[in-house]
Structures are given as C-alpha cells and as structure tokens.
Amino acid sequence: MKSTILYEVSKFLIPIIQLFGIYIIFHGHLSPGGGFAGGTIIGAGLILYRIVFGEEKAQEKLKYTKLLNLMCGSLITYGILKGYSFIVGGSNVHLFDIPLGKPGDILSGGLILPLNICVGIVVSVVIYFLFNLFYEGEI
C-alpha cells in the first residue's frame, strides 16, 4: 500500500501499540490483562506493519525462522518453568520455592511474570502467522 498518510501515521502508531501490549503483559498479575491479551495487541501491531510496509520489508524484519525459534524457545521456557512448579507442588518437595509475591508490586509476581512474557511472545507470533496464512504471499 502506497499512502503517505498511512505510512507516517503507522510509523508513529506501531511503537505505541507495542508499548501498550508490553504494558498489558507486564501488569497481567496486577490488573486485568496478561499474556494472552497483551500478546494479541502486539500481534496486531505486527500485522499492521505487514499490511502497511509490504511483504518484503516485513519478511526482512520479521524472519520466519527467527519468529519460529522465538516462539519455540518461549514454549520450552514455559514448559520447563511450569513443569518445575507442577512437579514440585505435586511431590511436596521444597528445594527452591518460587516467591508468591505481594500485591501491587510488578517485580514480585513470582512465576506469573515470566510465564506471562512467554505467553505474550507465543500469542503475538501465532497471531501474526495466522494473519499471514490468509493474506497474500508467504509468511
């Protein structure tokens, strides 16, 4: 799409959209939101980039293999972290207890924050892939 207005506005808007998504991911344990909602917003930002700047530029910036590796990496991290907490909780051993956190403090969320970040990455990449599946051209 070759429209100057669109081009300039989205140049300004995409960073803000992504910042907002990151904000929602980081505050998932304090306020409504979390990995899924925030990831969708970031994914929407990526989709906007793909529509406005075209296939070539998007493929250059958001390489398929890179995104896939990022997604799989966060899935593995999620699996290991949550699996650790499952196994520890299930067998009642207390090797290294993850802090429970206290309300109102971002960095004391225990496992929720890293898990939310993982979910956010996975969801944003998946949303972007899904869009590309139906849009013309390749991922």
Partner 1 sequence: MMEGILNNYYETGAIILFGVGFVTLLMHNNLIKKIIGMNIMDTAVFLFFISKGYIEDRQAPIVRGVHKGVEGYINPIPTALMLTGIVVAVSMTAFALGLTVKIYEEYGTVDLGQIMKMRGDENDDS
Partner 2 sequence: MIARNFPLLTIMILLICSFIMPIVKEAKTFKKLSIISMGASVVLNISTLIYIKYDGSFFYRVGHWDAPWGIELHIGMIEIIIGILFTLVASLVIWYSFYSVDTEIPKEKIRFYYLLINILIASLLGIVYSNDLFNSFVFIEVSTLASCGIVVIKDKKENIKATLKYLILSILGSGLFLMGIAFIYSITGNLNMTFIHNELAEIYIKYQNTILISLALFTVGLGVKSAMFPLHIWLPDAHSNAPSTSSALLSALVLKAFVFMLIKILLRVFSLEIVIQYRVLDLLLILGSIGMIFGSVLAIMQKNIKRVIAYSSVAQMGYIFYGIGLGNSLGLTISIFHIISHALTKSTLFLAVGSMMEQTGKNLSDLKGIGKEMPVTLGIFTIGAFSMVGIPILPGFISKWYFALATIDASKLIYLGVILLSSLLNAVYYFPIIINGYFGEENLKGKVFMSKNKPVKELLPVLILTVGIILVGIFNKGIINAINKSLI
Residue ranges in contact with partner 2 by CB under 8 A: 68-69, 72-73, 75-76, 79-80, 83, 85-87, 89-91
* 12 contacts partner 1 (rule: CB under 8 A): no
Measured CA distances, 70 to 28, 46, 62, 108 (Å): 21, 15, 11, 25
CA distance 93 to 82: 15
- The answer to whether 123 and 71 are in contact (CB under 8 A) is no
Q: Which two tokens stand for residue 51?
A: 């529509």
CA distance 136 to 43: 18
Smallest distance, partner 1 to C-beta of residue 6, A: 26
Nearer to partner 2, 32 or 90 (CB): 90
Smallest distance, partner 2 to C-beta of residue 82, A: 9
| Residues of this chain, 36-55, that bind partner 1 according to CB under 8 A | 36
| Residues near partner 1 (CB under 8 A) | 32, 36, 103, 130, 133-134
